[in-house]
Amino acid sequence: MSTSLGNLTEETLGAIMKAQTTGILESTGIYSYDLSELVSLIPVITPFRDIVARKMSPDGNPFAVWRAIMNLTNSQPDPSMGFDYAANEVQFQEQDFQARYKPIGYAGLVTQDAYDLAKGYGDPYAISTFQTLNQLLIGEDRKLMGAQSFALAHPAAPTVTQHTTGGTIGAVSLYIGVAARTGSGYYYGSGNSQGTASLVSTFGSGATNSVTATVTAVRGAVAYDWFYSADASTWYYYTTTTTNTVTVTKTISSNQALPTGNSVPDLSTSWKGTANTVPTINTSADNGSANANDYDGFLASLAGDYNGTGQWETPGTGTANPSIFNSLDGAALTLTGGTVNEIENDIFLPLWNQVKCSPTALMMNAQQAQEIANLVLGSSSATTYLTTDASGRISTTAGGRVGEIVNAPAGGVTVPIEVHVSLPPGTIVARTDRVPFPQANISSVLECRTLRDTAQFDYGISRVANTAGGGPRKEFEIRTVSAFVNRAPVSMAVLGNVA
């Protein structure tokens, strides 16, 4: 046997045997691979991160600290004093505020073997770095919007309305439980508030009964987890909604699947770090709505009370947050006179009465933006222009968008509508970027204050025997240490629980 023949491998012999066919067929395998470029299907849209000013801290500190002169206009004495009398002294109140710095980041890993096998096709190191950075940008947009370090308030017991139709509930007694979630809870399943249960009176008869449960809106919540129990002891997860109301149509004896679709488009499929699990209820203590690893983001700065040192805390436990908060309790937006009633009456008018200024923008999810467009353009009073091309009516453009809403209480100022991917459905926020107060001294109302802005850190390599990924590799993290600052919550408003 020749040397060359002796060096044939089993794989080579197998290929020769495969080629020994009668004629050349498709199964022979004489064809190339049409290997096109690697594509990425991850949308990276971070509008809130893009508009929030970023500023490096000049020194190291656990907190970003600022001071504010509070509005005591309604507490001032009468300025009239009469001739020969001294005027009454103006009242002042100074309040310190603090925003805690916290790190956020993601890690990447690429083995040397993966790098070698990708030779001629792609650079795994570059791909991993770029995609890790993309995910960090998405995560930071979500955290700037919805991160919260303090617990949500304990919900009140839900009020329950029985119906004899609409479901398959028979003659039974049942309990409905509820717990509220923050933005971090919605996007990352970090937990929910302390839960509360309500007994539904026994259905005496029927087999098509259903129940509607509504809980008093929890300030700072963007979603509510609902639970079912037959005895108030064993609880099963029923569903999650972005309003403070739910309809229960059946009794259950096991946890239901997480909801999907437009109602909760970005609901986390993880729960407290475990993938593909459903929420739990804890009726005796907070169940993770207070995330100790979070700083307090935008929604938290509009929800939390503040304590004596100016740190945000659970609503109802400190000095009340000065921002406006209203809830529609699951009702839909309505139209009168060409404007959206609830935005005018629950956002524009209260803000004007409180601070005599107009917000910069109305922030909302795409779902609410579409609802407003349908509401306004679908009314009989709306004037619709059909745009055509050179072919006339053969290619008419349909559809439309409401880009601005007139703030009538503020004298006719127009307020743009902004779609924000990190604001869950059901919540509308009026954001103010500039406060026109004399000597306000606010360069940026909203600010991402950084101790260390986005940077990559490479890890040293250690050998890990008998473990995939424990060989030669490159490990790294991309991270930032930052705090979110909102210097004027008083000039902003939240409209929650919009159907």
Mean pLDDT of all residues belonging to the chain? 90
* pTM metric for this prediction: 0.89
DSSP 203: P
Q: How confident is the model at residue 303 (pLDDT cuts 50, 70, 90)?
A: very high
CA angle centred on 384, ends 381 and 388, rounded to 5°: 170
Is pLDDT at 333 greater than 70 in this prediction? yes
Is pLDDT at 358 greater than 80 in this prediction? yes
pLDDT at 1: 45
DSSP 444: -
Strands 270-271 and 159-163: unpaired
Are 215 and 181 in contact, with CB atoms under 8 Å apart? no
Is pLDDT at 3 greater than 70 in this prediction? no
The SS3 of residue 31 is: coil
Tens digit of pLDDT for each residue in 424-446?
999 999 999 998 887 778 889 99
DSSP 184: H
Residue 281, both tokens:
């209820």
What ranges do the domains of the chain cover? Answer: 159-275
Is pLDDT at 388 greater than 70 in this prediction? no
Tens digit of pLDDT for each residue in 86-125?
998 888 877 888 899 999 999 999 999 999 999 988 999 9
Average pLDDT over residues 13-39: 71
Between 15 and 450, the more confident residue is 450
Q: How far is CA 234 from the centre of its chain?
A: 30
3-state helix, strand, coil in the chain (%, to 5): 20, 30, 50
DSSP 348: I
Between 239 and 122, the more confident residue is 239
How many CB atoms neighbour CB 384 within 10 A? 8
Tens digit of pLDDT for each residue in 145-178?
999 999 999 999 999 999 999 999 999 999 999 9
CA angle centred on 136, ends 134 and 140, rounded to 5°: 120
